[in-house]
Structure 1
Amino acid sequence: MKKVVALGLSSVLALSLAACSGDGEKASGTKKGGDVELTFWAFGATGYEELAKEYEKENPNVKIKMRSAETAEHHDALFTALSAGSGAPDIAMLEIDQIDRFKAAQDRFENLYDLGAKDVQDQYLDWKWKGGENEKGDFLIGLPTDIGPKALYYRTDLFEAAGLPTDPAEVSSLIDSPEAFEKAGVQLKEKTGKPFVDSIEMAYRAYLDAAQETYLNPEGELLLDKDGNSVKKAYDYAVKLNELGIVGKYDMWTPEWANAVNKGEFAAELGAGWLKGWMEGNATDAVGKWRVATLPTEFAANWGGSYISIPAETEHAKEAYEFVEWLVSPDNQLKSFQSKGLFPSAPAVYDMEEFKSNEDEFFGGQKTAPVFAEAAQDISGAVYKGEKYFPVHQEVLNALKNVQNKKADPEKEWKAAIKRAKDLIKK
Structure 2
Amino acid sequence: MRHRWISVLICAATTAAVTTACGSGGASQSADGKTELTIATFNEFGYEELFKEYEAAHPDVKITQRKTGQGQPHHQNLFTKLGAGSGLADIEGVEEGYLSQFMSKAGQFNDLKEIGPKIEDDRWLAWKTQAITTKDGKLMGYGTDIGPLAMCYRKDLFEKAGLPSDPEGVKALFTTWDAYFAAGDQFIAKVPGVAWFDSAAQVYNAMHNQLETGYYDKSDKLVIDSNTAIKANWNTVTAAVAKGQSARLGAFSNEWNTGFKLGKFATKTCPSWMLGVVESQAGPENKGLWAVTDAFPNGGGNWGGSYLTVPKQSKNAKKAAELAAWLTAPEQQIKAFKAKGTFPSQVKALDAPELLEQTNAYFGDVKAGTLFATQAKKIKAAQYKGPADGQIQETVVSPALQSVEQGKSPDEAWKAAVEGAQKAAK
| TM-score clears 0.5 | yes
2:20 equivalent in structure 1: none
Question: Quick one: structure 1 residues 425 and 350, their matched pair in 2 at CA, closer, same or farther if it must change by over 3 Å?
Answer: closer
Does the 8 Å CA contact 1:204/1:238 hold for their aligned counterparts?
yes
Matched, 1:268 2:267: yes
User: Cα distance, 1:201 vs. partner?
Assistant: 1.1
Q: Does 1:287 align with 2:290?
A: no
Structure 2 residue matching 1:406: 3-state secondary structure: coil
Alignment partner, residue 397 of structure 1: 398
Match of 1:95 in 2: 95
Asked whether the 8 Å contact 2:116–2:325 carries over to 1, the reply is no
Contact 1:150 1:301 in 2 (8 A): yes
Tell me whether 177-186 or 148-157 shows the greater mean CA deviation: 177-186
Alignment partner of 1:123: what SS? coil
Counterpart Cα distance in 1 of 2:291 and 2:116: 41
Determine the C-alpha separation between the residues in 1 that align with 2:157 and 2:118: 48
C-alpha separation between the residues in 1 aligned to 2:323 and 2:425? 39
1: CA distance, partners of 2:308 / 2:397: 31
**SS of residue in 2 equivalent to 1:304:** strand
Question: Could you tell me whether the CA contact under 8 Å between 1:148 and 1:343 is conserved in 2?
Answer: yes
Question: CA–CA distance in 1 between the matches of 2:44 and 2:27?
Answer: 23
Shift of 1:369: 1.9
* Deviation sequence 1:49-101 (CA, Å, 0-9, x none): 22111111121111111122321221222223322222221111111111221
What is the SS of the residue equivalent to 2:120?
A: helix
The code of the aligned residue for 1:237 comes to T
Q: Which residue of 2 aligns with 1:200?
A: 200
Match of 1:246 in 2: 245
Cα distance in structure 2, aligned partners of 1:3 and 1:354: 28
Change (3 A) 1:206 1:82: closer
Pairing 1:319-338 to 2, within 5 Å after superposition? 319-338=319-338
Is there any run of 5+ residues in structure 1 with no aligned partner, and where? 5-23
**Which residue of structure 2 lines up, in the alignment, with residue 189 of structure 1?**
188
Equivalent residue runs for 1:94-173 within 5 Å:
94-116=94-116, 119-136=119-136, 138-173=137-172
> Secondary structure of the residue that 2:67 maps to in structure 1?
strand
- Percent of residue pairs bearing the same amino acid type: 34
- Partner Cα separation in structure 1 for residue 172 and residue 87 of structure 2: 53
Structure 2 letter corresponding to 1:48: Y
Q: Give the AA of the match of 2:196.
A: F
Q: C-alpha distance in 2, partners of 1:216/1:263? A: 39
- Partners of 1:197 and 1:299 in 2: how far apart? 19
- CA deviation profile, 1:267-326 (whole Å, cap 9, x unmatched): 000121111122233421221111111334525211111000111122322221221111
Contact 1:203 1:241 in 2 (8 A): no
Question: Which string of whole-angstrom CA distances, capped at 9 and with x for unpartnered residues, describes residues 242-291 of structure 1?
Answer: 23321211222112211111221110001211111222334212211111
Q: Which residue number in structure 2 is paired with residue 30 of structure 1? A: 29
Q: Give TM-score scaled by structure 2 length.
A: 0.88
Contact (CA 8 Å) 1:300, 1:379: kept in 2 or not? Answer: yes
1:280 to 1:28, Cα distance in 2 relative to 1, 3 A: farther
- Counterpart AA for 1:363: F
Instruction: Answer 1 or 2: which has greater helix percent.
Output: 1
Does the CA contact (< 8 Å) of 2:110 and 2:311 recur in 1?
yes
In 2 relative to 1, CA 294–123 (structure 1 residues): closer, same or farther, beyond 3 Å? same
Could you tell me whether the CA contact under 8 Å between 2:39 and 2:92 is conserved in 1?
Answer: yes
Contact 1:27–1:87 (CA<8 Å) still a contact in 2? no
Aligned to 2:51: 52
Residue number in structure 2 paired with 1:367: 367
CA separation in 1, counterparts of 2:87 and 2:424? 31
